[in-house]
Amino acid sequence: MTSVDEQRWLASIGGETRLRFDGLSMIFPDGTHALDDISFSVAPGEFTTVVGPSGCGKSTLLRIASGLESGYTGVCDVNRDTIGYVFQDATLLPWRTVQRNVELNAELHGIDKAERKRRAEQAIELVNLAGHEDKYPKQLSGGMKMRCSLARSLVLNPGVFLFDEPFGALDEITREFLNDELLRLFSLERFAALFITHSIAEAVFLSTRVLVMSARPGRIVGDYQVPFGSERPHDLRFEPEFAELCGQINDDMKDAHA
């Protein structure tokens, strides 16, 4: 354990950590070795991103964290009381309006009508979708669908937020714009975030910590604390320090691939 990890571990004993993996490995029944000895933890107010090549098991890690996947070995300790999960796809129900889509998670958790309506309105406001409450998903752009999907998770005030390459299918401009928005939400809500992406720039821009995962079987081969503070202007992406960190992570990814 590195000293940083040790500090995190100590913090977790104090009840702070909301998500912890220790020696986590995953071999699927068909013999696919997806994950190998993954150990790290995420505390509230931490935004940890795992970057890695396609098919390296990043999504499997997230599915294990959420409880959708089992059959792993090692420790996966997640506070699942209120969990937010944002899929690769917006996964909106096409027969529901924006308002009713945002209410869905609360509805499934049995929160009463008036309360979930109030929370949904708040969340819609938060993701800048106000005025679109009565639209159906097919009337929304890709970016708006993703905001709607974010709002749906926000309604539960999740303590742990899992993101499975949520902006991968969007164009560059929309993606950067949503990155800015997500940072703003993060600074407001201070959840523990675990984000998966294959975009290094996105990882560096969003995170407090970036982990690099190797090709299958997925191992953590790089661990970077991101030195930028919580105030991250859009133009940060063009600063030399930003580019330098991206370059280092890129080298790690290449080594992991070789």
Window contacting other proteins (CB under 8 A); options: 7-15, 88-96, 176-184, 229-237? 88-96
170 part of the interface to other proteins, by CB under 8 A: no
Ramachandran assignment for 205, one of left (phi > 0), alpha (psi -120 to 50 degrees), beta (any other): alpha
Build a one-symbol-per-residue string for 89-118: x at contacts with other proteins by CB under 8 A, - elsewhere.
x-x-xxxx-------xx-xxx---------
For residue 158, cis peptide bond before it (omega within 30 degrees of 0): no
Containing 9, the helix (H) or strand (E) segment is: helix 3-13
1 part of the interface to other proteins, by CB under 8 A: no
Tell me whether residue 140 or residue 249 sits nearer to other proteins (CB atom): 140
Tell me whether residue 69 or residue 121 sits nearer to other proteins (CB atom): 69
What's the min distance (Å) between Cβ of 116 and other proteins? 12
- Rounded Cα–Cα distance for residues 75 and 189 (Å): 27
Question: What's the one-letter identity of residue 73?
Answer: T
| Per-residue tokens: 197 | 């992406």
The torsion angles phi and psi of 6, rounded to 5 degrees, stand at -65, -45
Tell me whether residue 17 or residue 97 sits nearer to other proteins (CB atom): 97
Contacting positions for other proteins (CB under 8 A): 66-68, 83, 85, 87-89, 91, 93-96, 104-105, 107-109, 136-138
